[in-house]
């Protein structure tokens, strides 16, 4: 049964109304991806954030009334809360408070399938939980079931900070082994003269669908955020070629928590070590331009922004003919495609073959 979630959309100082609209849509989608049911929402405009509660008492009282009226089981915030703020808000309102990073980690815990993916998620979750221990550091503050509690906390183990740090250290050593294995696999590909192409983009932009269309793979596809966590590499099946490898990667997100980027280092190396990238952009999304910028910021952070890149303007089947021309003008080097309908793929593939030859195309 879906948990009833009440959304609190905070507008930090310096942010405009468009931030509120975009943030609401993002948190709503994330909540649905985490298995929650959105039963209400409110906006909170912050001129001077409270160090102890983030939101002032009058607004919190209003939230408490709305939460009670809607019989919500938890509050979900579009921003990150300090451990003190989360604890004080929960005591004031009387239900759990989950912040943006906690929500994203919950989805990652649901999606991770491989041993590597589970290791990466646990490292990120433990790093997030470490400062959120209650009392004298003897019991995790997140025990029980529900959104924001999945992962290592579900085991209801009483662990202190020292044991958590030791666990993180062991997990990181295991991930280092995985990273070395990935490196050996990539070197094997290099020796066989394969060209490697990483498919990157905002979460739910259609990367897995494009991988399937280009290679005949059967990567899992779902209309939810972060449907894919574990990278999948498949060989090209077009034009009789057998020397191009495509890798589907984890979706990016605006202000992706740094802990996740660090934990998924070995996975993201599939991007940094690729010969070139295909950046999949969902042009049907109302905030497509912002999503493109967010992806580029993550690529910059991991050192992959300067790689030769093709921009695939995906989901053209969801956009009217009248809207396609101005979109093409905004992204003149972008290639219009529909991975789902298999439209525009010949043009994309031809451009990719050119790029593999000269490595000069950038969006």
**CATH number of the 193-358 domain:** 3.40.50.300
Distance in angstroms (rounded) separating the CA atoms of residues 141 and 153: 9
Residue ranges with strand state E in 174-333 = 195-201, 232-235, 244-248, 276-282, 309-314
Structure confidence by residue, pLDDT tens digits, 203-216: 899 999 999 999 98
Rounded to the nearest integer, the mean pLDDT of the chain is: 85
pLDDT tops 60 at residue 152: no
Highest mean pLDDT among 182-196, 288-302, 345-359 belongs to 288-302
pLDDT tops 50 at residue 85: yes
User: Which residues make Cβ contacts (< 8 Å) with residue 131, sequence separation at least 6?
Assistant: 83
Strand partners, 245: 196, 235
pLDDT tops 60 at residue 155: no
pLDDT tops 70 at residue 145: no
The string of DSSP letters for 117-180 reads: HHHHHHHHHHHHHGGGEETTTTEES--SSSTT--SGGGG-----HHHHHHHHHHHHHHHHHHHH
Residue 306 structure tokens: 């300067």
pLDDT tops 70 at residue 97: yes
For the residues 121-138, what does the mean pLDDT come to?
73
For the residues 1-16, what does the mean pLDDT come to?
91
Distance in angstroms (rounded) separating the CA atoms of residues 209 and 133: 41
Question: If you count them, how many residues does the chain have?
Answer: 363
b/e sequence 186-219, b meaning 16+ C-beta within 10 Å: beebeeeebbbbbbbbbbbbbbbbbbbbbbebeb
Residue 175 confidence (pLDDT):
87
For the residues 239-261, what does the mean pLDDT come to?
82
Structure confidence by residue, pLDDT tens digits, 318-336: 999 999 999 999 999 999 9
Alpha carbon 331 to chain centroid distance? 24
Highest mean pLDDT among 17-21, 48-52, 63-67, 304-308 belongs to 63-67
Q: Which CATH superfamily is domain 3-98 in?
A: GTPase HflX, N-terminal domain (3.40.50.11060)
Residue 59 structure tokens: 């607004």
Considering the chain, tell me which residue range(s) the CATH 3.40.50.11060 domain(s) occupy.
Answer: 3-98
pLDDT tops 70 at residue 136: no
Residue 23 structure tokens: 């943030």
pTM for this one?
A: 0.83
């Amino acid at each position: 049964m879906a948990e009833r979630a009440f959304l609190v959309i905070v507008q930090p100082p310096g942010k405009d109304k468009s931030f509120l609209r975009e943030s609401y849509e993002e948190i709503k989608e994330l909540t649905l991806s985490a298995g929650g049911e959105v039963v209400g929402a409110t906006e909170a405009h912050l001129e001077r954030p409270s160090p102890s509660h983030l939101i002032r008492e009058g607004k919190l009282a209003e939230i408490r009334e709305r939460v009670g009226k809607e019989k919500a089981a938890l509050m979900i915030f579009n921003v990150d809360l300090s451990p003190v703020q989360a604890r004080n808000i929960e005591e004031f309102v009387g239900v759990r408070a989950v912040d943006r990073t906690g929500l994203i980690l919950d989805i990652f815990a649901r999606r991770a399938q491989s041993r590597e993916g589970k290791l990466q998620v646990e490292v990120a979750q433990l790093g997030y939980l470490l400062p959120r221990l209650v009392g004298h550091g003897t019991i995790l503050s997140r025990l029980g079931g529900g959104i924001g509690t999945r992962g290592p906390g579900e085991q209801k183990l009483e662990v202190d900070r020292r044991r958590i740090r030791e666990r993180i250290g062991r997990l990181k050593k295991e991930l280092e082994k995985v990273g070395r294995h990935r490196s050996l696999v990539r070197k094997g590909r290099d020796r066989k003269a394969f060209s490697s192409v990483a498919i990157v983009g905002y979460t739910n932009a259609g990367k897995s669908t494009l991988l399937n269309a280009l290679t005949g793979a059967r990567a899992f596809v779902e209309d939810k955020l972060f449907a894919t966590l574990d990278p999948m590499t498949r060989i090209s099946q077009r034009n009789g070629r057998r020397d191009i490898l495509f890798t589907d990667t984890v979706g990016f997100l605006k202000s992706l928590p740094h802990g996740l980027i660090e934990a998924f280092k070995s996975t993201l190396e599939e991007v940094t070590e690729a010969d070139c990238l295909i950046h999949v952009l969902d042009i049907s999304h109302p905030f497509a331009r912002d999503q493109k910028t967010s992806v580029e910021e993550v690529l910059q952070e991991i050192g992959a922004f300067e790689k030769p890149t093709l921009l695939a303007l995906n989901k053209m089947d969801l956009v009217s003919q009248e809207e396609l021309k101005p979109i093409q003008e905004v992204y003149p080097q972008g290639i219009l495609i529909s991975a789902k309908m298999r439209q525009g793929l010949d043009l994309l593939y031809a451009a990719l073959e050119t790029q593999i030859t000269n490595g000069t195309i950038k969006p």
